[in-house]
Every structure is written in C-alpha cells, then in structure tokens.
C-alpha cells in the first residue's frame, strides 16, 4: 500500500516512519510512505501557502494553487490512489472504514492547516473527506498519522501471527477482553484462574464474556444494532438471572424501602406494587 502525505510540515512524519509497526511495514515493503511539501508548489519568493479569507473574518485559508499542484503531482506517481482530505467535515473514521481503506492500492493524504483548504480543492480534487473526531486540530497531520497507523496494522502480515488484528476491539464490534501478563499476583490482585488453566475452550468463553461485559458497561451503543450469536445470548441470559437473584435476595434499602406488609408483596413474582 502506498501512502503519500501532502503537508507543509513533512518532518512531523519522521517519527512515524522510524518507529514501531509502521517502520516494520516499511522495512517489509508492505507499505511505501513519503511526504510532499506543499510549499514546494508555491511559486512566490516566500512560498506562502495561505491567504486572507474572502468575506473577512479571523484566520487564514490554504491557497488552492499549491495544494492542487501538489495533488496533481502526487497523482502522477499514484494513479490508483484515492485522495483524502483530513477535515472535521469528513465521515468519521472507525474500524470498518479502516478495513475498507486497506483494500485500496494507495492513499494521498492532504493535510490542511489554518482554517482549512480553499473549498474549490474539495470539489475538484478530493475523493473522500475523513474526520478522526468532532474536535478541531491545528492541522490535518495528526489525523493523517492516525489513518496511516490504523490502516497499516490491518494489512495482512504486518502484525505478526501473535498479535493479529482479528481479535481487535471493534473487529466483532465488541471491545477487546481484559489482558493480563506476569506477575500472576500484582499488588494483591490475581490473574483470573481460567487464564492459567490451559483450557482454551473455557478461556475463549471467559474472553467473550469479558468483551461483552466491557462493551455493555462502556459502549452499550456498540451492542444496540449488533446481532447476538447463541453463545452471547446464553451469557446475557446468565447475567439476567444473576441480576434477578440479586434483586430478590436483597431487602430493599433506603426511603423507598417497603414496610413489612409491602415487603411481602414484593416476592409475588417480582412485581412491585410500588405505591
């Protein structure tokens, strides 16, 4: 996969190219990555790439000419690549979008600065607008790095066997299960017994329950329109029973606590005849 980043701060990407999984992917020729300085396409003596906004107002706008020239130059060496503008206006990046981008031969990532890029660029030369979140960055560079990192690790073979992307959070659109490593006891807290049992069936079941409970507690929105398989339904039903048992086992506490008589009422198949 080919990444070409158009930016006025190309050196910001050096650490990304030189460390971790992205570096390994470059060394394994799984990806090629390069930057293009938009300033190089600005003819003026001071290579100024921004100008005042028509209609007045604060801030500056990135001029169309150098950005367009940089895009057209990049496209020459990456014909099949899609051109992406990083902007809060874009479709929100998520795991399924990242998985979609992996199938492309390459990405030309346009990093805006100032208030953004002249709108006529968006209309003519941009294939997709992508946002990494509903907040405003000082530039598109960090968003471009997020996309390069999230997409590169999904390229088959980039993540070694041990840490495959299959078990990612969001891969089954559940959050990942809890991870533990040595020591077995840390500050008095034990690693769950089942994880040291070697019983892979039980470990898989425990991990699924861990993913489900974490998703239920932290990201219920992910469960909303997500079909449940038989095993997941069994687990959720078990929780319901556990919760029912707790409800029925505990005397009601606090102001709402029912008096003796009403207390009795509560046990008739759980219907509360709350006043």
Residues taking part in catalysis: 88, 115, 153, 168
Interface pick for ligand 4FV out of 57, 123, 135, 270 (rule CB under 6 A): 135
- Strand order from edge to edge, sheet including 32-37: 32-37, 2-7, 106-111, 82-92, 128-131
- 131 lies in the site for ligand 4FV, by CB under 6 A: yes
Looking at the Cβ atoms of 54 and 217, the one nearer to ligand 4FV is 54
Among 26, 97, 137, 165, binds ligand 4FV (CB under 6 A): 137
| Residue from the set 4, 6, 38, 132 that interacts with ligand 4FV by CB under 6 A | 132
What size, in residues, is the chain? Answer: 275
Buried b or exposed e, range 24-43, using 16+ CB within 10 angstroms: ebbeeebbebebbbbbebbe
Using CB under 6 A as the binding rule, whether residue 140 contacts ligand 4FV is answered as yes
How many residues contact ligand 4FV, by CB under 6 A?
Answer: 16
Site string for ligand 4FV, 81-120 (x = CB under 6 A): -----xxx-----------------------xxx-x----
Cα separation, 111 vs 68, in Å, equals: 12
Closer to ligand 4FV at the Cβ: 135 or 193? 135
Q: How far is the CB of 103 from ligand 4FV (least distance, A)?
A: 21
Q: Is the peptide bond before 183 cis (omega within 30 degrees of 0)?
A: yes
d(CA 5, CA 71): 10
Kindly indicate which of the ranges 15-23, 102-110, 126-134, 236-244 contains the residues binding ligand 4FV, using the contact rule CB under 6 A: 126-134
85 strand-pairing partners:
110, 129
The nearer residue to ligand 4FV, 63 or 113, going by C-beta atoms, is 113
Which 3 state secondary structure label does DSSP give 56?
coil
Over its C-alpha atoms, the chain yields an Rg (Å, rounded) of 27
d(CA 215, CA 207) in angstroms, rounded, equals: 12
Q: Give the contact letters, 141-160, x = binds to ligand 4FV (CB under 6 A), - = no.
A: --x-----------------
Rounded CA separation 219/160 (Å)? 28
Interacting residues toward ligand 4FV by CB under 6 A: 86-88, 112-114, 116, 131-133, 135-137, 139-140, 143
């Amino acid at each position: 996969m080919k990444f070409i980043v158009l930016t006025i701060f190309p050196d910001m990407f050096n650490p990304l190219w030189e460390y971790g999984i992205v570096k390994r992917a470059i060394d394994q020729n799984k990806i090629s990555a390069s930057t293009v300085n938009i300033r190089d396409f600005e003819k003026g003596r001071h290579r100024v790439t921004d100008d005042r906004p028509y209609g007045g107002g604060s801030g500056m706008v990135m001029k169309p000419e150098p950005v367009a020239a940089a895009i057209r130059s990049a496209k020459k060496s990456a014909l099949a690549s899609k051109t992406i503008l990083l902007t809060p206006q874009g479709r929100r990046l998520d795991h399924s979008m990242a998985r979609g981008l992996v199938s492309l031969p390459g990405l030309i990532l346009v990093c805006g600065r100032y208030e953004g890029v002249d709108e006529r660029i968006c209309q003519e030369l941009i294939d997709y607008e992508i946002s990494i979140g509903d907040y405003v960055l000082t530039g598109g560079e960090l968003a471009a790095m997020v996309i390069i990192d999230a997409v590169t690790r999904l390229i088959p073979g980039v993540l070694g066997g041990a840490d495959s992307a299959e078990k990612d959070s969001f891969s089954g659109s559940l959050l990942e299960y809890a991870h533990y490593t040595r020591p077995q006891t840390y500050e008095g807290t034990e690693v769950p017994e089942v994880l040291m049992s070697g019983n892979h069936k039980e470990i898989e079941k425990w991990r699924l329950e861990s993913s489900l409970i974490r998703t239920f507690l932290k990201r219920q929105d992910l469960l909303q329109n997500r079909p449940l398989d038989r095993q997941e339904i069994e687990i959720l039903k078990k929780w319901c029973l556990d919760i029912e048992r707790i409800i029925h086992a505990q005397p009601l506490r606090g102001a709402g606590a029912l008096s003796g008589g009403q207390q009795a009422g509560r046990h008739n198949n759980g219907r509360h005849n709350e006043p």
